[in-house]
Amino acid sequence: MRTPGVARIIAAQLLARFPSGMLSLAILLHVERVHDSYGAAGLVLAATSIGQGIAGPLTSRWMGRWGMRPVLLLTITVCAAAVTTIALVEMPVVLYMLVALIAGLSYPPVQPAVRTIYPKMVTSRQLTPLFSLDASAQELIWIGGPVIATFVSTQISTVLGILLAVIFLLAGGVWFVASPEVGRIRIPRTKRSFGTVMKRPPVLLVTAVGFLMIAAAAAVEAGVVATFGHGGPEAGFVLAIWALGSLASGLALGHLPVSQWSLPRRTGMLFVGLALATFSQDFWWMTISLLVSSIGFAPALAVMFATVSASVRFSDTAEAYGWVGTGQLIGAAVGSALAGFLIDSAGPVGAFWTGGAFAAACVLVATLFRRASPDLRGREAGPIADTEPVALPPT
């Protein structure tokens, strides 16, 4: 944090990404109020997620072609306009879905941008701890975002709940874009075709592990809400403690060197905690179980970010992070959907079975394919430099 610009970049990107923790709940509550249907609200949210999933690697790749600032300013403007339209204009469900799709397609690629910038801001020794700090700090989005969105939407107005997210998006986005580091760092234009970066085993591994890990988390979140219902604050307390535990573990373990066994060990802690949660839905048992699982959550994300950074050329870094983000978005959707089906058929414990199964698969994949992950002990975690032949004049 003493490195010039690091604190500013972390704060700006957190503010710009804060709507990620707000918009789902705010839009859900708003569309449900307008159409008196959670099914309709779910369709609108699905359209948003589909848009984000498609746009993730695409807009990230654009930053290498047109520069970070133009792409970020364009996406921030379009996304803010689309989300504001959802808040202020009452429409049929189909039109809500269309506007939500536009909002998802234009969601600013701040996360790929900042993780592309980090290797150019700090030394190689500091990079893995910085990724860990970033993974920990993003838990603040999932602690504060849902609380603010729910309170404002239920106690004041659903319109204001969405507009508040737009304010965060614009303020944080402009602050991030105006940061000197964003203008100073230029991503080289990649010469490889779209999607080629996914042929690299480390990127494929991280995308698969991210999909399974976030699917497990989404299933457990659904299970916590289903266990305690909407009548009390217990679900909010459990999820907040889970996020705080992840934040603390990321800060505590961020200095550890990354080896090929780091990802299996850290996802293993996630699995142990989620497996324990299947034995009882008592408040304290669930809280302690999820605290155990949180020991591996942010540290595993930090390993994944460092793995991508050390495994691809600098020109491909943003696109690679875009694909990883798309995998996580798909994981969240699949995990929530499967958990919902099992909650209907087996009760809340079905969601914890789902989360435990995804976590077990996550550990299995991370272990079987650990050799695809680079051993970063004693070596730089920064991206591979882009090089090309240089024509020399005849002598």
Residue 390 is assigned to a structural domain of this protein: no
Q: Look at residue 394 and tell me if it is in a domain.
A: no
For residue 190, the model assigns a pLDDT of 64
Instruction: Indicate the residue among 150, 170, 187 that finishes a domain.
Output: 187
Same domain for 262 and 149?
no
Together in a domain, 253 and 275: yes
Asked if residue 252 and residue 156 are part of one domain, the reply reads no
> In the chain, how many domains are there?
2
Q: Is the pLDDT of residue 319 over 50?
A: yes
Residue 377 CB-density burial (10 A; 0-12 exposed, 13-18 middle, 19+ buried): exposed
393 lies in some domain: no
Residues 236 and 260 in one domain: yes
- Of 115-124, 206-215, 314-323, 366-375, where does mean pLDDT reach its minimum? 314-323
In a domain, 233, yes or no: yes
* Per-residue pLDDT at 49: 78
Is the residue at 392 inside a domain?
no
pLDDT score recorded for residue 170: 93
Kindly state whether residues 230 and 272 are assigned to the same domain.
yes
The reply to whether 235 falls in a domain is yes
Where does a domain end: 187, 206, 233?
187
Looking at the structure, do residues 56 and 195 belong to the same domain, yes or no? no
Q: Between 5 and 368, name the one with better pLDDT.
A: 368
Q: What is the DSSP string of 235-255?
A: HHHHHHHHHHHHHHHHHHHTT
pLDDT value of position 82: 93
Residues 126 and 149 in one domain: yes
Residue 142 has pLDDT above 70, yes or no: no
Same domain, 212 and 167: no
Please choose, from the candidates 306, 327, 319, 313, the residue with its C-alpha nearest in 3D space to the C-alpha of residue 63: 319
Which residues in 106-116 are b (16+ Cβ under 10 Å) and which e?
bbbbbbbbbbb
25 with 94, same domain? Answer: yes
Regarding whether 250 and 274 lie in a shared domain, the answer is yes
Q: Identify whether residues 193 and 121 lie together within a single domain.
A: no
Same domain, 254 and 350: yes
Cα–Cα distance for residue pair 265/366, rounded to 1 Å: 9
Residue 194: which pLDDT band, with cuts at 50, 70 and 90? low
In a domain, 264, yes or no: yes
Largest CA distance in the chain: 82
Question: pLDDT tens, 323-380?
Answer: 777 787 778 777 777 777 777 777 778 888 888 899 999 899 888 887 877 766 655 5
Q: Looking at the domain assignment, is residue 391 inside a domain?
A: no
Domain that holds residue 86: 1-187
Residue 390, pLDDT > 50, answer: no
Domain end residue (candidates: 187, 215, 242): 187
What CATH number has the domain bearing residue 317? 1.20.1250.20
